[in-house]
Structure 1
Amino acid sequence: MRTEVITVRTGGRATVRDITSEAADFVDGRGDGLLHVFVPHATAGVAIIETGAGSDDDLLTALDSVLPADDRWRHRHGARGHGRDHVLPAFVAPYASLPVVDGRVALGTWQSICLVDTNGDNPTRQVRFSFLPG
């Protein structure tokens, strides 16, 4: 298995950050296998969604609706509503596994691999790519 950790700057507010090109660079020329993407954080996730047409903003809006950043959460350290950030991985898993065919991630036409981070308290995140040859 080959593995690599990259650092992604997410800034100080909720964001959906497309990391498809970084994943593609990681598997380029590796043949067939499986790409596993993992975010080793308690307050971030990985989503396979369309970006650039509003779906990324729609995802954040949906998460705000389901997980509002208010004072209802028992987990209270950090910024107001930070407890919801710790619930996020139950809705947006911190991992995704994708097929790799001929050294290319086999995504659908409009799909992208995205880091989802609602926690503005941590402006940088790590993402681990792992490749299992087939």
Structure 2
Amino acid sequence: MIDVDTSRRRTVDLTDAVRRFCRSRGDGLCNVFVPHATAGIAILETGAGSDDDLVDTLERLLPRDDRYRHSHGSPGHGADHVLPGIVAPSVTIPVQAGQPLLGTWQSVVLVDLNRDNPRRNVRISFVGG
């Protein structure tokens, strides 16, 4: 399990941790899962603006106001609970010879718009073939 602090960033790149986890394994599938009701895992390009574009898009799609039935926490916190319906709480990545088969520009990121809880756990598991 990886402990992640999202107080400074809405997206956190987990790719290096995934690569380290897979390194000693052979062929199979790596699953990255966030066991929280207000966060998700995505595969996207980072560092060229796509990660910020994703956050901006999600914040436009999920405005922080009083429209949500789920209304505890900070204003608009209900939007945080809708996020996993858009950005799934897990991804599965094929692995060959201990290397995640990610594309050249693909990174595995934690997506967390929730301002009420900046401490996240991420679980990485592997099924060998």
SS of the residue 1:98 aligns to = strand
Question: Percent identity between the aligned chains?
Answer: 58
State the distance in 2 between where 1:130 and 1:124 align. 20
Partner of 1:123: 118
Matched, 1:19 2:19: no
Where do 5+ consecutive residues of structure 2 fail to align? none
Partner of 2:31: 36
Partner of 1:92: 87
What CA deviation, in whole Å up to 9, does each residue of 1:96-130 have, x standing for no partner? 00001110111000000000000011111000100
Matched, 1:53 2:48: yes
Where do 5+ consecutive residues of structure 1 fail to align? none
In the TM superposition, residue 29 of structure 1 has moved relative to its aligned partner by 2.2
Partner of 1:8: 4
State the distance in 2 between where 1:11 and 1:37 align. 21
Runs of 4+ in 1 over 3 A off after TM superposition: none
In the TM superposition, residue 69 of structure 1 has moved relative to its aligned partner by 1.0
In the TM superposition, residue 80 of structure 1 has moved relative to its aligned partner by 0.9
In the TM superposition, residue 70 of structure 1 has moved relative to its aligned partner by 1.2
Q: CA RMSD in A?
A: 1.0
Matched, 1:80 2:75: yes
Bigger share in strand: 1
State the distance in 2 between where 1:62 and 1:123 align. 20
